[in-house]
Structure 1
Amino acid sequence: MKGIILIMDGLGDRPLKSLGNKTPLQAAKTPNMDKMAEQGINGLMDSIKPGIIPGSDTAHISILGYDPYEVYTGRGPFEASGVGLEIFPGDIAFRCNFSTADENQIITDRRAGRIREGTKDIIDSLNHMVIEGYDDVKIIFKESTGHRAVLVLRGNGLSDAVSDADPKKEGNAPKKVVPTDDSPEAKKTADILNKLIIKSYEMIKDHPINKKRIENNQPPANIIIPRGAGAVPEVEPLNEKYNIKSACIAETGLIMGIARFAGMDIIEVDGATGGTDTNLDNISDTIVNHLKGVDYNFFLINIDGADEAGHDGNSKEKVEFIEKVDEIVIKKLLDIEDCYIILTADHSTPISVMDHTADPVPMVINGPEVRVDFVKQFSEIEAHKGGLCRIQGSNVMDILMDLMNNSTKFGA
């Protein structure tokens, strides 16, 4: 028996007047998700616990059965691992955005027009960076998908106790990075980062890629904004924890990095961008092809486009992307036999908020001998009527392992 957890990143939402007081998921035409709801057991999930706003990282850590309050050291190490950087104890890693700044280094676009091409060439230039006074610290950049990148600082006397530089909104300068404790290591790291941000603008503002983008009326990717500092965590391998053979199909470095730390194999997909323009046909074909094999019996799958639309505040795009996932991915999964499929989200990203919220997300489980309830539509509003009731992310793997007959008895 095989098991799948398919996470539609940021799927959850709140009712919108523009959609007739429906959520994007309610407003979308989703006959295949609705069929899953009708044939399965439904409920609501708080990926961490009620009232706690989850990040995509902490949510996935919890859903995989780890305690994020113990495992999570910051987003950076997961991003770094996800893009293939080997990181070591003592390294401090950060997630970064390629952003657009004006001549006064005021951020005019936090995501540099969601740049898709040319970031590797820009990174090649940045990897020559040396910060005056800190020649002993090695600076390593690596591009990720789209506007995302990672940064690793390697050297003695560094700390992850530093704040983020992300201004969160356009029209502001990058925030000054400050130490969050009184240690000399944190002060040193904060000073390096503040100098690094200024240096990144000086090094890449006139890069050929950016000159070309300006000529094409596109926002240049001319500054790096680091955030999510973290030291390297220790994680029990998922395969040992649950006695499974696991693999991850994901679009972003963050999710792939979490999977790598958990010891999962990574199955990469051509054309998976992490945005609403991602190649869903390739993703669905990859899922189906590997389900036919014998190498793995558990898959974590992450599809990110609904989250992007939520962060952009674009309800039309979110509805359309949900419909595309329903038609291209979910439709194919309905034909899979001898497999338990969990469809859910990691968190809500409401259009009205344009960021994550603590609203619980819908969940449905399909598979042999599932206790089918009376829910007939997959949505945030209908899910509460289902037989799963309201659970937490930390319950998901235990429930799936029990259904797969892969659990052991607690007690005599």
Structure 2
Amino acid sequence: MKGVIMIIDGMADRPIESLGGKTPLEAAKTPNMDRLASSGINGIMDPIRPGVRAGSDTSHLSILGYDPYSVYTGRGPFEAAGVGLDVRPGDIAFRCNFATADDDLVITDRRAGRIRSGTSQIAEAINSMTLDGFEDVEIIFRESTGHRAVLVLRGPGLGDNVSDADPKTEGKPPKKVKALDGSPESQKTADILNNLVRESYEILRDHPVNTERIRNGEAPANIILPRGAGAVPDVEKFEDRYGLKAACIAETGLIRGIGHITGMDVIDVEGATGGTDTDLESIKNAIKDALDDEYEFLLINIDGADEAGHDGDLEGKVEFIERVDSILGDLIRDDIYFILTADHSTPVSVMDHTGDPVPITINGPEVRVDDVSVFSERAAAAGGLCRIRGSHVMDILLDLMNRKEKFGA
């Protein structure tokens, strides 16, 4: 038997008046998700614990059975690993946004118009940077998907206890990065980041990619916003922990990085953008191929519903959920345990993650099927799983797969 956890990033939501009090998931036409629910056991899940606004990184770690309060050092190392950087001990890693700033360095678009192309050329320009007074520090910068990128600082005397440059909203300049612990190592890192943000604008404002974007009426990617500083955590490999050969199919560098750091094989999928325009057919085919391979466990993350939630795009979120549903029919098999859930709620009314629980359904042989026939936030709450936490999922899956050791005599 094989196990699959498919996480539709940010799929869960809150009731919306214009939908007659339904959530986007309740309003969407999801016959395949409903089929999974009606032949499975259902419940609601707090990815970390009730009321905690989970990040995608911390919730995935929790769902995989790792304590995020112990192994999570920041988002940067996972992003860096996810784009293939060989992060070394002592390196300080950050996730970054390509963003748009005006002449006063006020951020007008935190995601640079959802830029999709030209970011590799911009990354090359950042990699050529040297900062006066910090010649002993190497700047390693690489693009990820869309507006996302990663930054690694390599050199002596660096610390990771620093604040973010990202103001988290438009209409404000980048935040001044500060050392949060008062140490000389963190202060050095903060000084480097503040210089790097300012210098990135000087280098990128007239970059050919950006002049072309401006001619086309698109927002230029003319400044870098680092955030999520962290050092690489010491994480037990998934196969050593559970005895399962595992693969990860994910669109964003963040979740791919979790796959890399936990020792999973990370499968590339052409056309997987991490947005609502992603190639779901290619993702479906990659999942089918992996299920036919030697893998005993698959972690799958599909991201577009989260993007729509962050953008406040109600119609786009409903439509994307329906598109995801359309590929599920070809993935339901008798020889796998299939878990469908979300990593957090991203309500379109909030345009950010919330601590609301998410629906979860488990389908497979000998599952104690309950009376739930619809996959949604409220319907799932009546199911046999009741209310669980993300940290319970792997224990439940391993028990169903008869791979769980007995506790006690």
TM above 0.5, one fold? yes
What is aligned with 2:328? Answer: 330
State how far apart, in whole Å, the 2-side matches of 1:268 and 1:65 are.
Answer: 24
State how far apart, in whole Å, the 2-side matches of 1:205 and 1:359 are.
Answer: 40
* Superposed CA offset, 1:167-219 (max 9, x none): 11111101111111111111111111001000000011101000000000000
Deviation at 1:331, TM superposition (A): 1.4
What is the SS of the residue equivalent to 1:199?
helix
AA matched with 2:218 = Q
What is aligned with 2:363? Answer: 366
State how far apart, in whole Å, the 2-side matches of 1:72 and 1:297 are.
Answer: 26
Deviation at 1:121, TM superposition (A): 0.5
Deviation at 1:411, TM superposition (A): 1.2
State how far apart, in whole Å, the 2-side matches of 1:25 and 1:14 are.
Answer: 9
State how far apart, in whole Å, the 1-side matches of 2:321 and 2:183 are.
Answer: 47
AA matched with 1:80 = A
Please tell me the root mean square deviation across aligned C-alpha atoms, in Å: 0.6
Q: Which runs of 5+ in 2 are unaligned?
A: none
State how far apart, in whole Å, the 2-side matches of 1:37 and 1:265 are.
Answer: 29
AA matched with 1:302 = N
1:355 pairs with 2:352: yes
Where do 1:13-412 residues align within 5 Å?
13-293=13-293, 295-327=294-326, 329-334=327-332, 336-412=333-409
What is the SS of the residue equivalent to 2:359?
strand
1:9 pairs with 2:9: yes
TM-score of the aligned structures, taking structure 1 as reference length:
0.99
State how far apart, in whole Å, the 2-side matches of 1:149 and 1:192 are.
Answer: 18
State how far apart, in whole Å, the 2-side matches of 1:7 and 1:212 are.
Answer: 37
State how far apart, in whole Å, the 1-side matches of 2:87 and 2:290 are.
Answer: 29
What is the SS of the residue equivalent to 2:377?
coil
Deviation at 1:220, TM superposition (A): 0.3
Say how many residue pairs are matched.
409
* Superposed CA offset, 1:351-408 (max 9, x none): 1100000000000000001000000110001111000000000000110011111111
AA matched with 2:56 = S
State how far apart, in whole Å, the 1-side matches of 2:40 and 2:319 are.
Answer: 24
State how far apart, in whole Å, the 1-side matches of 2:237 and 2:155 are.
Answer: 27
Deviation at 1:337, TM superposition (A): 2.0
* Superposed CA offset, 1:2-21 (max 9, x none): 00000000011000111111
What is the SS of the residue equivalent to 1:332?
coil
Please identify runs of 4+ aligned residues in structure 1 that moved more than 3 A.
none
State how far apart, in whole Å, the 1-side matches of 2:19 and 2:85 are.
Answer: 43
TM-score of the aligned structures, taking structure 2 as reference length:
0.99
* Superposed CA offset, 1:263-313 (max 9, x none): 0000110000000000000000110122112x2110000000000000000
State how far apart, in whole Å, the 2-side matches of 1:155 and 1:292 are.
Answer: 44
AA matched with 2:340 = L
AA matched with 1:356 = H
Q: Which runs of 5+ in 1 are unaligned?
A: none
State how far apart, in whole Å, the 1-side matches of 2:185 and 2:217 are.
Answer: 42
State how far apart, in whole Å, the 1-side matches of 2:310 and 2:18 are.
Answer: 17
What is the SS of the residue equivalent to 2:381?
helix
